[in-house]
Amino acid sequence: MNVLRPYIAAFVARFRTMLQYRAAALAGFTTQCWWGGLKVMVYAAFYRHSAHAHASMTLAQVITYTWLGQALFTLQPWSGDPEVAGAVRTGAVGYDRLRPVDTYAWWFIRATAWMTSRALPRAALMFAAAAVLLPLAGLGEWSWRAPADALQAGLFAISLVLMILLGAAFTMLINLCIAATLTDRGINTLAPAFVILFSGNLIPLGLFPDWLQPVLVAQPFAGMLDIPTRIYIGALTGAAAWGGLALQVFWTLVFVMLGRKGIGRVMNRLEVQGG
């Protein structure tokens, strides 16, 4: 426990600090509600008027997928940790190197706290709006629906935890790019293009052509939204669901190994600037 104490303290401190930004959470929730509503209307029109609506996912599943994706928006690795970027720019990263802790684990834990603390209030508000208020307003067809059974909910909970770990592991790779290049502009511009398309945030991966499905599910970004969401809505069940969980574990381990291998090289060549 003495070994874990600094990491637990770092997580709790960062989590509590980020929860104080209530205006940012409300603004983010409003934005995600707006985009979620637009996407739901687009999908409803598509399923209503298209003779080729995708049979692998029903409209109700796609709508729940959309709301869940909006609720978990900040759990996806859109950019590197802004505190790491600031520390690299100012030279304060030297303090992290002097701490009697593992730098990779320290940054990983803080990134996890940063992502989850921003997602928690937004997800709660989104659930209240899309799962509770919409049915009460007579818009049950466009609402966020519950999982079919307890097993489905349990597998989703496991997949959600793996999603957080996978997102944090990828964020660490972005942090290393920032530390290596001494700027966050390039990688923070490039990363969202891959995340939004290949995670299923823009379009559910289940709506892509069938011949692409094996590749789309196997690539790492699917575990950052598509796999847990499709488990939730029942589009991935049985062996397919367990296979999705295995892929999340696999890519998390790959990213962690790459991050641990790269952090030593980056830190040995790091130029501390500022003053």
How confident is the model over 25-73, as pLDDT tens digits? 899 899 999 999 999 999 999 888 876 666 678 999 999 999 999 999 9
pLDDT at 175 over 90: yes
Query: Among 47-61, 201-215, 243-257, 258-272, where is mean pLDDT lowest?
Result: 47-61
Average pLDDT, integer, range 155-166: 97
pLDDT of residue 3: 82
Element housing 145 (H / E):
none
**How would you classify residue 182: left for phi > 0, otherwise alpha for psi between -120 and 50, otherwise beta?**
left
Percent helix, percent strand, percent coil in the chain, to nearest 5 = 80, 0, 20
Average pLDDT, integer, range 85-102: 84
Residue with tokens 């991966």: 205
Q: Model-level pTM?
A: 0.93
pLDDT of residue 52: 62
Query: Among 7-16, 87-96, 158-167, 242-251, where is mean pLDDT lowest?
Result: 87-96
Pinpoint the alpha helices (H) of 182-223: 185-198, 213-218
Q: Could you tell me if 222 and 250 are in contact, meaning their C-beta atoms sit under 8 angstroms apart?
A: no
